[in-house]
Chains A and B, each alone.
Chain A
Amino acid sequence: MKIITDSTADLPRETYEREEIGVVPLTIRLGDRTWSDFFDIEPDDYYATLRESTASPATSQPSPQAFIDAYEPYATKGEPILSIHISSKLSGTYQSALLARSHFPKATIEVIDSRQASLGLGMVVLLCKERVCSGASFQDVVTFSRDLARKVETYFSVDSLEYLKRGGRIGRAQSLLGTLMKVKPLLRLTDGEIHALEKVRTTERLLNRFVELTEEGSRKGRSLRLSVAESDNGEIASGLLMRLMKIPGVSLVHRCKLGGVITSHAGPGALAITFVEA
């Protein structure tokens, strides 16, 4: 079976290659320039470009045709496809994938709304691949992916809410806008959309909260699979990762950089963790 995701999974290039995971790109537009996310621009280059730009970035979902092209080689061979995507509340990508599926009435294609984005989506994709490698049937993996989509939790902070606001993805964190005093928002991606969790004043307190949230998640000796991501915030992320790895029961799935599309909406300077009991 083939697993296909979209570029907002923010997995490193070598991971896609090693795990043989297909990736369909979204598109980024900044001023007069456009890039195919993941394929055309490296995260670090995009952070620098975005910091220098005065224009607001915009992103768009892949066309149904892009998914048709991605499905075609496997669909025609009769290989089942598991297509796992960014939350349908944040992007029309899932919709495009569904439309593409209707082009292959005879093929076995399951399209999954991960209700996640970035490292959360990446986590769902990687854990599904793990299942595939351990010999699970297609149906088992499909059921597992749906289950993960309900359980995976992502917590993140952004340097400024401006990007989420301008990109229109602020969702239920809307209430944080207009705060006169400078705060670091702690946000949560759950049930497919963004919620405001807390406002803290200092980075130290923010990191403490990430640690506390992970500790709460691993309470009663549950084992947690965890991932960490950042945009132009590597040093802080490394420090956080060191602290998180000391929590009993926590094991690391992956660490990544936020890609172009996600950074367009979260901005540079973001920090995120994802975990799920497993």
Chain B
Amino acid sequence: MAILYCGARRFRQIITAGAERVTRNRDYLNKINVFPVPDGDTGSNMAMTLAAAVREMEAVSETSLEAAVKAAAWGALMGARGNSGIILSQVLSGLTEGIEGRDRLFAEDIALGLSRGIRKAYKAVLHPKEGTILTVIRETAEKAVEKARSEKDFSKLIEGMVESAKSSVERTPLMLPALAEAGVVDAGGQGFLCFLEGMLRLMQGEVGPDVPVEEETVFEGNPQEAAEHHWNFRYCTEFILKGSRISEDAIKAVLADMGDSVVVVGDTRLARVHVHTGRPEEVLHYASTLGRVSSIKVDDMLVQHTARFGSAEASKATSVIAVALGDGFKELFYNGGAELVVDGGPTFNPSTADMAAAIEEVASSNVIILPNNKNVYPAAVQAGERSPKRVSVLKTATLPEGLSAMLAYMDDATTEDNLSRMEQAIGGVKSGEITSAGRDVILGTVEVRSGDSIGIFEGKVRCSSLSREEAVLSLVEQMSDSTDEMITLFYGDSVTKEEAELLRSTLQSRHEGREIELYYGGQPYGHYVVSLE
């Protein structure tokens, strides 16, 4: 059924639906916000602006279309946040012209209102940039005007606008290099598209789940890395100015000297002003000479940006070399900050030459080596003595000891500092291993049959069992004392993840109150390595 006009009730409904879809996509829009300033708040700003429009519509008691449209425009203007919010408020105000006494809006009214609105928005922004929300709305308005000539069905018109807006949004990275570098589309433009989509969904009566934009959009770049920005104008400053003879152009001209992203909208008695400046106090002082200043909001965008994307990493003073066996262990060492992990080989016994090559290969002249085995220690020390670099070899005798030391390493600390932290971390971790016995033997009180799983701790066989899980449980019993807080299991190549998970829950049920952690070690010989600390 064709919808031929929009009355007060439908107007309220579609604006509300549009606002809701923007709100639902707020976080995504924040994330892709890189232009003009990567402060990650476009989604929040648009959502808050539209929420203000909706609130104002709900607050007016009058039920006429005129009252609803004016309330939406007024609410958006008073609640406008950020550049994109002000632009949205102008678009809504475009609809208010000639609304007096009308009780219906037809397709061409929407098209013309949008055109008027976007013209106002261009005027409001000091340096309009293409490839932003402005372009998306302008092209959508042009399409709407063209379509409204023949199309009287309201929902068909909005459908056409959504299509046009979508293709506009997709082209924004072609117009704005900052977007292309970041691998995103313009956040404001995307927000406007969401707004239209929300309206369309309502009119088409869609009841299915409202799929958030992010799931539909593929993006390849990393907005955080590409977003380089100069922070001379780091304070996003907004306020409302009430006076008697406010001149938008005069304000814009003065503010242009104090900052950028200048937006001024309103009339001679009331203006909403937005500027990015390094000196918010001066801006506010200037404004106070023109009239009464209210609703002041000043955000430090550098704080917002740093908060969002973190600050630069410090350079590396120390290179750590670890010797390990198994992909899982290697990965854990790399993840902990090792620059190079030397494969221990089948006998966990790399040659002095292997160690010397590793020492030469790493970047820093300060090297810390984690041998992680008693056999490797002498080779590492020898290689270190021959090298012109400053090499320290820590006495890590097991992989868990090595990992403890690795975790204590901090990228931005000095070499001395790291050495003492890492040395300290070695103590306090007990480590055992479950492996298969190669032959029948009696070791002390433990009777071992070939093929049994045996548990080794502190160089001694502590238990033997047909089941490797039983061996783990028994070994842990023997290793543990009341001060241990945490049991860590590293499962080897021969164990499946499911088996390991099962063992972990059995272990958890026997050691309530202790943290049990499970990692893939990938060691080729032992079934499990287990540590307690």
Contacts and interface: CB of A to CB of B under 8 A. Distances in A.
Interface string A137-169: 000000000000000000000000000000111
B313 A99 contact: no
B421 A198 contact: yes
Contacts, number: 94
Interface in B307-334: 307-308, 310-311, 313-314, 331-332
B235 A179 contact: no
A171 B408 contact: no
Contact of B281 (A90, A99, A197, A202): A99
A172 B314 CA distance: 9
Given A89-B303, A168-B308, A63 B297 contact: yes
A168 B411 CA distance: 21
A183 interface: yes
B299 interface: yes
A161 B73 CA distance: 42
B130 interface: no
B412 interface: yes
Given A181-B336, A196-B410, A171 B310 contact: yes
Nearest to A204: B485
Nearest to B305: A168
Task: Say what secondary structure dominates the interface of chain A.
Answer: loop
B428 interface: yes
A201 B426 CA distance: 11
A170 B313 CA distance: 13
Interface string B101-133: 000000000000000000000000000000000
Interface in A23-51: none
Contacts of A98: 281
Nearest to A178: B335
A64 B421 contact: no
A88 B285 CA distance: 22
Nearest to B421: A198
A243 interface: no
A181 B403 contact: yes
A199 B485 contact: no
A180 interface: yes
A179 B428 contact: no
Nearest to B483: A204
Nearest to B520: A180
A99 B296 contact: yes
Contacts of B285: 102
27 contacts: A64-B296, A88-B303, A89-B306, A92-B303, A95-B235, A95-B280, A99-B280, A99-B281, A102-B284, A174-B311, A174-B313, A175-B313, A175-B411, A179-B407, A180-B331, A180-B519, A181-B332, A181-B335, A181-B488, A181-B517, A198-B410, A198-B421, A199-B410, A200-B407, A201-B404, A201-B429, A202-B533
Given A96-B298, A102-B281, 11 more contacts: A88-B303, A92-B300, A95-B298, A172-B412, A180-B519, A181-B519, A182-B517, A196-B410, A198-B421, A202-B428, A205-B428
